[in-house]
Structures are given as C-alpha cells and as structure tokens.
Amino acid sequence: MSPSQRLLQDLARERAKLRIEMTLTAVTGVGLVLALGATRLAGEQSGPVLETIGYVIAYLAGGVPALITAVRALIKRRRLSISLLMVLAAAAAALVGEARDGAILLLLFSLAESLEGYAMGNAKRAVAALMRLRPETATVIENGTRTTVPAESVRIGQRIAIMPGERVPLDGVLLAGSSSVDQAPITGESVPVDKVVGDTLFAGTVNGYGALEVEVTKDSSSTTLARMIELVTQAQAQRSTSQRFSSWFGQRYTRLVLVGSVLALGVFLLLGMPPNDAFYKAATLLVVASPCAVVISVPAAILAALARAARMGVLFKGGMALEDLASVDTFAMDKTGTLTEARMQVSDVVPFGMSRSELLRLAAAIERGSEHPVAEAIRTAGAGAGALATAAEPDRLGTSDAPVDHVTSDLTAVPGMGVTATVDGTPYWAGNRALAAANEVLLEGQVDAEVARLEALGRTLVIVGDARRVVGVLAVADTVRPSAARALAGLREAGVRRIVMLTGDNAAVANAVADELGIARTDVNAGLLPEQKVDHVARLREQGGVAVVGDGVNDAAAMATATVGIAMGVAGTDAALEAADVALLSDDLERLPTVLRLARAAHRVVRQNLTFALGIMALMVVVTLFGNLPLPLAVLGHEGGTILVVLNGLRLLAFDGGVAQRSRSLRQPGTEALAHDQAV
C-alpha cells in the first residue's frame, strides 16, 4: 500500500471518529433541551421523570466520552486532563442539585472537542491534497522498451516518457522533445513555460502538447513536490504559543481545583464542621471554582465571530485562526490567482501600417491552431475586434461592419519562440524577439521603442510580422483583480504595517502588478520556488504576525509556515485550502480588511470575558472559603457570570466594522473602469 493510500485510510478513520463526536454532541444538546422543557412538555406529574431522563441522556452522551478520555490520559500518560475536571464539575453540580449547570458544561465541552478534532485533521488533509498531485506510476524507457512502474521504484538516472496531458511524476532534465508545461502548481507562473532539451521539469507539473523523454534527477522522496509535502507536514505540526499555554494552564488548573477541593474538605472537618455541612461547602467550592464561565468565555466570542465571518463569505478553520489573525500586522500576497485573476488578456495593441482591429484579427488567424494560453487570449480579443473598426478608425484591409474571415494554413509551432502560418496566401510569424531574428527581421526605430516600453511593463509580447517587416506588437498580461487595489487600501486603513508580494513569476511582471496596486518594489519578491517562499515568510515572522494570502498548491507550505494562511476559495486548490487557516468562499479580496477588524474585535471580547470570568470566580472562591456563600447565591453568581460573558460574545454577531462606509470611500470614481481601460 502506497503512503498516499495509507494517509487516505487514516483520514477516513478520523472522519468517522469526528462524525461520532458530533453525533454525541447533538445528543447531549437534545437531552439538555428535553430536560429544560420537561414540565412544559409533559405537565406537572410526568415532568420530573422526563426531566431526569433528559439529564441522564445529556450526562451519558456528554460525560462518558470525556470520562473515557480522562481515564486514558491518566493511565497512558499519567496526566490529569481538563476532561476529568469537566466531568467532576458536572457531577458536583448534579450532587448539589444543579444538574442543568453540569449538562450545559458538558455540551460546551463536547462541542469544543469536536471543533478541535476537525482542526487537528487539517494537516493530514493538506498533505493528502498535495499527494494527489504526484502520479503513482511512471513510464520507464529501457533498451527501447517502455514499461509502466510505480513512481517510487524509479531510480536517479533512469529515463522516463511523459505524454501530452500527463502529469510529470518525478523531477528531471529534458533529453528529447519540446513542449509547453504548466508549472503553476509548483512555481506559480501565470502562463505555461516552453521547455526544450536541457530544461528542468518538476514533479506535479502538467505536460502540454509534446511527447517528452526525461532523465530523472531526484527520486520520489526528494522531489520538489515531496519537499512541499514535508514542509506542510512540519509547519502544521508546530504548536502555537496559545496552544502551549492552554496545555500548561489546563494541567495546573485541574490539579489546583481537585487538590484545593479535597484540602478544603479536610480543613472544614478539622475545624469541627459537621460532615454534611463540610461536604456541602466543599461541593459549593467545586461549583464556584468550576470554569464554566471561563470555558465559555472563548467559544462565546469565537463562535459568534465565526458565524459573522461565515455570513460575510469567510470561513475560519477553528478559533485559533481567528485569534492568530488578530495579531497579524504583515500581509504576504501571492500574485497569480490572488492579486490577479490568472487569466491572460490582451492589454496593448500597437499596429504598424494597419488598424488595431485588423492587427488583432490577423494575429488571431495566425494563432488559430495554437493551444497556448497567450494564443487563446489573442483569439478572444480578435473575435471582438470588429467593434474596434469604427468610423474614426476604418479598417485598411476590411470593412468596419464585419471582421475579415482570414484563411490560415501551414501553421507551425516554433518551440520557445512562437508560431508561423500562411494567412490569405502570405507567410506571417508571431512570437518573441528570437523569432523575429530567426526571420531576419530587425526591430528598429519606433518598433524597438514600443517593444522595450512594453517589456519594461512586464508584459508578455507577441510581435507580428511578415518576411520583410513588423506589422504590429501585442502585449498580453494577467488581469489584476478589480477588488485588489481596494482590498490593499482597506488593509492599510485597518493598520496593517506592511504588504509584500511573494510570487514565482518573473520580476518584470511582478513589478508591473506591484506598481498598479501601490506595493513598494522593495516589498516584491519574484521568481520564488515554494521553499524560498517559506524562507521569506519565516523571516517576516521574526518581525511579527504574518498572514499569507494565496490560491495555489505552491502557496501551501508558505501558508502553513505563516501565522495565518488565507486561501482564495473559488480559485484555490485543495491543498492550499486545507493548508490555510482561513478560506475566502468567494474570490473577493475586499473581505480581508473587514475580517481582520472582526478578528481584532473578537480578541478584545475574549480578553474582556476572561478577565470578568476569572475575576468573578476568584471572588466567589474567596467568599466560599472565608465566608458563608449560600448555594443559591453561588449558582446565581456562576450562572450570571456565564450569561454576561455569553451576551458580550454574541455582540459580535452584529459586527459591522464600517463595511458599507469603507466600501463607498474605497470605491473612488473610475476605479471600476481601470481594468477595462487597460484592456483592449
């Protein structure tokens, strides 16, 4: 059985366990509701019986699993867990006639355990999503014979064959053939990369149109993809400061309450207090020391904030992510698919000796048979080129009423350069500088100046020419998301100290996008592999909290290394979504500033709740020990504190954060037309 198959089996078992935990939580809630409504449902005579049944159901469903967990921790690790304290507190509440408090406590604790179980499974789900990118088999070439074998058995130095459309199984060097390879899963490049003999291929990337022979340079355990899987696993396994503190506090608080209650009972007896009164006072102490208000302080605020975020189209994978986001002061943004839409579009059309519309239609005819994304963008622009032929700009080779239907033949792809074709009987070419040189066409004067200008903007250029001259230049670029500029402005307004860009794309393209969005070029980091992104994020974390926003598999390790990973929900890959702590259900980046404010508001409410809950609990413990706190007042203080922290937390359900007002202020006139004006 392969590692990925074993991992998927583990995931299936964990999901089954989580379903059981959630079912028991629901049963606990049903039992509590049944007990609370018993008299109204069954009347005065049968009500007490139904109430008892409801509490028994709640205690069994919520208490038995917690008790089993506590016993296992005690036997296997010799540790007193918080589960034990929850069960004893609930039992003590029942013994002093307040079974309702115990049932509520068990319900909240059971719900928290279910949420924690889901969060703990994120690491394995992220690794499983990455593993699905790695093919299980590879086609090995030996003595002219091709054999399909497990990818794990392929050795360094062996030759493998990769057919069009197949995913590359192992890292290697191209020995024969040429193709266009989609490297977005690894490098994040916005367009497929042309590969010729001698170029490197990465495992997990997708071959385009050509049949390839590759010499393996890394075995399955050391490929770039395997390293990404390892990085995600290691980063997800690292425990946050809050998690470590919670574990430390839970252990000591459990011991303190248990030991303190027993010692108090002994002291009461030594002071001559009647046994019944001593037990009553000790049980009261256990009730007032029960951390119900403390336990609910965090989920009351966190769950309300999570519900509010969900209504805004943002999914947090647990309260820890919400807590961590509040401490973030730096945002590291992926470019392709995050700040941009990962969709190529013709941005500039510069004709020489013909109209813009005719140049577009001619270029579309030349690119008619190509499957390259740049060719697709040109064909799309060419299809609508008739609208450009107006009275102010008449077609020189056609009419303004309808596009010319060019006849294309002899289409030939020139790897790494472009394409050639015969259009209406005339040979044309479309490609880069190298293809122009191959056709012995010089780039001089205005043509050279326009090419240099567009290259400086980071555009992907397609130079169009015939045997004698250049007839035009088209620039193709990834489309910047309309919401990106407003989102970054909102983040700065919310107090974000620094916004940086991390991308696998080249520096020219990255700088062009950064200039458009107002990101300082000193904060642009281009040409990065996943490991380099992780290094950059690690350095940023030394200076404070960092949120990484991305959409691709190549962002997964960086997300897992960051304080908080945020994935684009619609455009995001499974691995990025699983590695991330936060997912945008839509690709609207404008949700980021609002959700950052929400996280900070939740953090403030949690601190308020904890301060109040701990203060009330400490006060009641002191009064119980050194005074005579009646049980009704103890229950009133306990329940009152719980209700107050819950109400304070529920305020977050109405959180607005000035969303509407900021949206109006950030949507300056003309912003929506920016992308349209830059396109054809």
CA distance 322 to 596: 9
Token pair in block for residue 422: 């015969």
Mapping DSSP to helix (H, G, I), strand (E, B) and coil, where does residue 434 land? Answer: helix
- Return the higher-pLDDT residue of 115 and 518: 518
Neighbours of 252 (CB within 10 A): 11
CA distance 250 to 269: 29
CA distance 586 to 589: 8
The DSSP bridge partners found for residue 172 are 201, 216
Local confidence band at 390 (pLDDT 50, 70, 90 cut-offs): very low
**How would you class 62 by CB atoms within 10 Å of its CB: exposed for 0-12, middle for 13-18, buried for 19 or more?**
buried
Token pair in block for residue 162: 């990769």
Local confidence band at 658 (pLDDT 50, 70, 90 cut-offs): low
* CA-to-CA dists, residue 652 to 303, 317, 611, angstroms: 9, 18, 18
Residue 66: what pLDDT? 85
Mapping DSSP to helix (H, G, I), strand (E, B) and coil, where does residue 375 land? Answer: helix
Token pair in block for residue 322: 């919400």
Residue 462: what pLDDT? 93
- Return the higher-pLDDT residue of 244 and 216: 216
Provide mean pLDDT across the span 69-86: 78
**How would you class 170 by CB atoms within 10 Å of its CB: exposed for 0-12, middle for 13-18, buried for 19 or more?**
buried
**pLDDT above 90 covers what percent of the chain?**
23
Residue 135: what pLDDT? 86
Residue 600: what pLDDT? 92
Token pair in block for residue 225: 């993809």
Residue labelled with tokens 């408090």: 101
Q: Which stretches of 153-224 are assigned E, i.e. beta strand? A: 159-162, 172-176, 179-182, 193-195, 200-201, 206-207, 212-216
* CA-to-CA dists, residue 89 to 67, 102, 192, angstroms: 12, 7, 61
CA distance 644 to 617: 13
Provide mean pLDDT across the span 74-92: 76
Residue 183: what pLDDT? 80
Q: Per-residue pLDDT for 248 more than 80?
A: no
What digits encode the pLDDT tens for the residues 475-505?
A: 998 888 888 999 999 999 998 999 999 988 8
CA distance 429 to 546: 47
Q: How many Cα atoms sit within 13 Å of 442 on the Cβ side? A: 2
Provide mean pLDDT across the span 14-18: 81
Go through 202-228 and write b for each residue having 16 or more CB atoms within 10 A of its CB, e for each that does not. Answer: bbbbbbbbbebbbbbebbbeebbbbbb
To the nearest 10 degrees (0 to 180), the angle between helices 99-120 and 631-650 is 40
User: Which residues have a catalytic role annotated?
Assistant: 334
pTM (2 d.p.): 0.61
The DSSP bridge partners found for residue 521 are none
Local confidence band at 166 (pLDDT 50, 70, 90 cut-offs): very high
Task: Tell me the backbone φ, ψ of residue 41, rounded to 5 degrees.
Answer: -80, -40
What digits encode the pLDDT tens for the residues 544-599?
A: 999 999 876 667 788 888 999 898 765 455 565 566 788 776 677 888 999 999 99
Local confidence band at 444 (pLDDT 50, 70, 90 cut-offs): confident
Residue 492: what pLDDT? 92
Residue 676: what pLDDT? 31
* Contact indicator for 135, 185 with CB cutoff of 8 Å: no
Go through 526-558 and write b for each residue having 16 or more CB atoms within 10 A of its CB, e for each that does not. Answer: bebbbeebbebbeebeeeebbbbbbbbbbbbbb
Mean pLDDT across the chain, nearest whole number?
79
Q: Which stretches of 335-469 are assigned E, i.e. beta strand? A: 340-351, 408-414, 418-423, 426-431, 460-465
* Contact indicator for 319, 301 with CB cutoff of 8 Å: no
- Domains identified in the chain and CATH numbers: 135-221 (2.70.150.10), 290-345+469-680 (3.40.50.1000), 353-452+461-467 (3.40.1110.10)
* Contact indicator for 25, 110 with CB cutoff of 8 Å: yes
What digits encode the pLDDT tens for the residues 331-345?
A: 999 888 888 887 788
Measured in whole angstroms, the distance separating CA 587 from the mean position of its chain's CA atoms is 12
**Which DSSP string corresponds to 523-539?**
GEE-S--HHHHHHHHHH
Nearest to 605 by CA among 655, 648, 653: 648
Local confidence band at 391 (pLDDT 50, 70, 90 cut-offs): very low
What digits encode the pLDDT tens for the residues 183-204?
A: 876 665 567 888 999 998 988 8
**pLDDT above 70 covers what percent of the chain?**
77
Local confidence band at 304 (pLDDT 50, 70, 90 cut-offs): confident
Local confidence band at 57 (pLDDT 50, 70, 90 cut-offs): very high
Local confidence band at 396 (pLDDT 50, 70, 90 cut-offs): very low
Residue 127: what pLDDT? 60
* Contact indicator for 606, 298 with CB cutoff of 8 Å: yes
Q: Per-residue pLDDT for 394 more than 50?
A: no
Q: Per-residue pLDDT for 120 more than 60?
A: no
Residue labelled with tokens 């960051």: 562
